[in-house]
Structure 1
Amino acid sequence: MDLAARKYNFIQKLLKVDESLLEKLENIININDENQDWFLELSTEEQSEIEIGLKEADNSEFVSHESIMGKFAKWH
């Protein structure tokens, strides 16, 4: 099924939902919209630090969560 057909089917189902489910769907859509803007609300310094961290992660220049948790396991 292509994207247009999937959207059409979704719209058809959306016409039949009750108020409660509609509110939940609206919240999901609104959260998705809000998550796209958070980066732009950061200062340029914060954005720069995040970009540096992402580049380091892309270059495997990090310590894995498992490795850190292994070092601190004796305190858990």
Structure 2
Amino acid sequence: MEEMKVKTEGEGRESEEKVKIMEAEIAELKKTTVDRDRAEISVESDELSSSQRFQGLMEVSGRSNLIKNLKKGQGRFNEQ
């Protein structure tokens, strides 16, 4: 009877240790996932910023070309 009690207690301690190890692994995986998600959000944010900057440059370039064409058109109109 005593041997069974000792064996059961030993198995219980082993199970508790395994649970603690698994909990530590889960916590580490959660941390890794959060870090990865933050990195992805940062990259997406950077890409969006680059895209927005590019679009802004295109709009400025388009406006500049429009102004140049209007000025050319006015010069021709004034010459006639």
Task: State the TM-score, normalizing by the size of structure 2.
Answer: 0.31
TM superposition score normalised by structure 1? 0.32
Q: Which structure carries more helix by proportion?
A: 2
